[in-house]
Amino acid sequence: MEDLNLNNKKILIRVDFNVPIQNNHITSDMRIRASIPTIQLALKQNAKVIIMSHLGRPQEGKYQKKFSLFPVFEYLKKIFKKNKVSFSNNLDKIKIHSGELLVLENVRFNIGEKNNDIVLSKKYAALCDIFVMDAFGSAHRKESSTFGVGMFAKIACAGPLLISELKALRTALKNPRRPMIAVIGGSKISTKFKLLKSLARIADTVIVGGAIANTFLAIDYRIGQSLYEPKFIDMAKEIRNQYNILIPIDSRVGTSFSTKSPAIVKKPFEIHDNEEIMDLGDKSINNIKNIIKKSKTILWNGPLGVFEFPNFNVGTKELAQSIADSTAFSIAGGGETLSVINMFNIQDKISYISTGGGAFLEFIEGNKLPAIYMLEMVKKTLQNVM
């Protein structure tokens, strides 16, 4: 996008405004703020700027108010006070002048969006002179607004945010400063097994937390009512035996999944059948802090416990603060990780915060993202014509 003349051109930008909204109020604007520079760049060049995004998982073809992007439109009106900002839910009636911003309704209300429908893709492409793919968080989806539109647009290009995301991830993965530490938390090892293996191959240490760590603990211990995945115990054992995986040596446990449940620190062999691991213990936290202090590159995805409960957010809080205090190049990504960063207000202390969730994981696993493939194909076609 930065290489093109945008003056008086219709610019359709695919952004990732899939933000949490409660009672018409945006509770985390991190993804929107990440896209503001791209929009500003286009408006400064006197472009006619149209932006589109998905929000949540509505039933396709059916309007649902709770999934409307109207609250995002109202948010952007306050940001771009000097520009006319409008909203449209009709792809057939688009009127926009130079220096104006138009927000389209949730693309997932449009029939054919998720199936990468050709008719819908062409309809999007007809809206613009230039299509800009700037939604890294949706780059792993082969849909009309992320893939198909680029194949039919007059010009398709990458936006600044997408490029910065790719550069940051490549910095962390291709030739990282060492020691490189990967922190993987969350509830399911099944969804992050490939990620674990990919990172274990390049990281000096992989720190595991949450229910993922519980699956590793279940190799050798009975862990009561703790959330873990029995089917993945053998795979976890294989990874543990082959790579340097830091597994908790103590945990905070409770007798009920509740904010009122008191936290008791126990070693794995001390856990009773009626108890549940919900956070790291103090010795495990100290081990992590010592490793983080020595690290030069940190890749972080996922919390280390039930961080929403005050009694069980100690491990995640200490991890977040350690990464914030570190001089290492740090990159963090994933929906829950963004929530943690917001909760502990460390946005300015992470080297790079990725807006991607699924795309973040797919890229680290080494998979080709459909949107990146589309841009490469468009570039090759253009070169062949020239």
142-193 pLDDT per residue, tens: 999 999 999 999 999 999 999 999 998 888 888 899 999 999 998 777 778 8
Average pLDDT, integer, range 68-96: 95
Give 331's strand partners. Answer: 299, 352
Terminal Cα-to-Cα distance of the chain (whole angstroms): 19
5-15 pLDDT per residue, tens: 999 999 999 99
Whole-number pLDDT of residue 272:
96
Geometric angle at alpha carbon 248, from 361 and 342, rounded to 5°: 50
CB 268 within 8 A of CB 253: no
Q: What is the largest CA-CA distance in the chain?
A: 70
Q: Name residue 180's amino acid.
A: M
Q: Name residue 331's amino acid.
A: I
SS3 207: strand
Judged by average pLDDT, the poorest of 32-41, 75-84, 281-290, 375-384 is 375-384
pTM check: above 0.75: yes
Give 169's strand partners. Answer: none
Whole-number pLDDT of residue 186:
83
Cβ burial 153-174 (10 Å sphere, 16+ → b, else e): bebbbbbebbebbbebbebbbe
**Token pair listed for 109:** 């209300």
Residue 90 to residues 47, 69, 87, 127, 238, Cα–Cα distance (Å):
21, 13, 9, 11, 53
290-314 pLDDT per residue, tens: 999 999 999 999 999 999 999 999 9
Geometric angle at alpha carbon 216, from 210 and 222, rounded to 5°: 95
Q: Is 385 a residue whose pLDDT tops 60? A: no
Q: 3-state DSSP helix/strand/coil percent for the chain, to nearest 5?
A: 40, 15, 40
Whole-number pLDDT of residue 381:
62
Question: d(Cα 155, Cα 149) in Å, to the nearest integer?
Answer: 10
CA-closest candidate to residue 133, choices 143, 123, 118: 143
Question: d(Cα 181, Cα 326) in Å, to the nearest integer?
Answer: 12
Is the link from the previous residue into 20 a cis peptide, with omega within 30 of 0? Answer: no
Question: d(Cα 36, Cα 43) in Å, to the nearest integer?
Answer: 11
CB 72 within 8 A of CB 51: no
CA-closest candidate to residue 136, choices 335, 363, 380, 379: 363
Count of CB atoms within 10 A of residue 366's CB? 11
Side by side, which strands form the sheet with 251-254? 264-266, 251-254, 276-280
The residue whose two tokens read 């007798």 is 255
213-238 pLDDT per residue, tens: 999 999 999 999 999 999 999 999 99
The residue whose two tokens read 């200490």 is 318
Q: Name residue 33's amino acid.
A: R
